[in-house]
Amino acid sequence: MTRASIRKVVDTWRPRYLGASLKEKTKMLDEFVALKVTSAP
């Protein structure tokens, strides 16, 4: 993932993350890490 694509994901997820419960935040962070790992060169 490029910095630009990471920024795009973070900007898209920010409102949802800020309003999420701790359980939802954990799930979102797990999804983000999975995205990063699967798109690593």
pLDDT at 6: 86
Q: CA dihedral defined by 16, 18, 22, 27, rounded to 10 degrees?
A: 40
Question: Whose CA is closest to 25, among 34, 36, 16?
Answer: 16
pLDDT at 36: 78
Question: Whose CA is closest to 32, among 21, 41, 19, 11?
Answer: 11
The span from the CA of 23 to the CA of 5, in Å, is 25
Domain span at 9: 3-38
pLDDT tens column, 2-41: 889 889 989 999 999 999 999 999 999 999 888 877 766 6
Give φ, ψ of 20 to 5 degrees. Answer: -85, 155
pLDDT at 1: 75
When divided into structural domains, the chain yields a total of 1
pLDDT at 41: 62
